[in-house]
Amino acid sequence: MSVYIEAVLDGSIAPHTRWELYRVLAEPVRLRMLALAAQEELAIGELAGLLGESQPNISRHLTPLKQAGLVLVRREGTRGLVRIAEAAAADPVVADALASGRALCEADGSLQRIVEVLRERDLVAREFFAQASQARETRESDALDATSAYVAALARLLPSRHLAVDAGTGDGALLDVLAPSFERVVAVDRSGAQLERARARVTRRGYANVRLLKAELGAPELREHVGEGADVVFASRLLHHAPRPVDLVRQLAQLAKPGGAVMILDYGRHDDESMRDEADLWLGFEGAELLRFAREAGLHDAEVIKLPAAWCGKGKDAHLPWQVMVSRRKK
């Protein structure tokens, strides 16, 4: 937050100097930008599309908003993502400006079109994973080594291992760990092409305790299979494909039983723009972001653990920083 806004909020600026804040908020485009940024963190290009303005014009209007401490802009690769500075809304002038901006956005339809922006984000991942490209097939040996036997032995140390959910199972790679560990596994994915790859793995491995399901994470049919909830819900490298990551974490939390664990494996923040070719909507996450998602999803005892590079496989993403967040649903 700027020194100016901090001073405004703590009352150390004299009333006659507040005209600066009024000046910044006197432009209707800025009011609309502020209202949209309060609704959702949006890329500059997304803001331009919603408001029917050029990106240079959006950037020009962002400058005084940033200088006044009203919005925060974080870099993610080549993108700038804009969100409102939470503390700024405590100022009565800013609160009134937000109400005015929201009214303008409701009148021009831009507020309602945020749903379309999120849908377009989601479509990128849907189309990518709908293609059963041979180039993306997992290179694996048909014969398992002894790893699964070791996993099965160690699994006996788990306090409860009745049910695991593999959210966004993809080609089912995680099933080689979950199937030997849990009495029952529900593996869900919304892509039929991905599930066929997982089905081939399940058949090849002879996993009789795995149920494959084509569904969204919030679908009633998934809830029926999960029942009172899973002991552990896994989401491996799924979060960076989500249009609104916090919503996905909420869905994962709802699949866990009270006291059950939610484990999210994903990338740390990085700048490799080539990963957008893999339908990555987000270039990883800061540990603090993951912890915030957990809090907003009602999870507790969250912990983020950085993973050594040697544990990150040999795929296209092996060079990225990997991390896992472990958290629990409240009893």
Per-10-residue mean pLDDT, the chain, length 331: 49 53 91 95 95 95 92 91 88 92 96 93 82 50 66 90 97 95 97 94 95 95 95 97 96 97 97 94 96 97 96 92 97 88
- What is the predicted pLDDT for the residue at 40? 93
> What's the CATH architecture for 140-329?
3-Layer(aba) Sandwich (3.40)
CB 139 within 8 A of CB 167: no
CB 51 within 8 A of CB 29: yes
Instruction: Output the six-digit token pair for 216.
Output: 């969204």
- What is the predicted pLDDT for the residue at 52? 95
- What is the predicted pLDDT for the residue at 313? 86
CB 327 within 8 A of CB 302: yes
Stated pTM of the model: 0.80
- What is the predicted pLDDT for the residue at 138? 46
- Determine how many CB atoms are found less than 10 A away from the CB of residue 123: 12
**Where are the domains positioned within the chain?**
3-112, 140-329
Q: What is the pLDDT of residues 280-319, one digit of tens each?
A: 999 999 999 999 999 999 999 999 999 999 999 889 999 9
Check whether domain 3-112 has CATH 1.10.10.10, yes or no: yes
- What is the predicted pLDDT for the residue at 18? 67
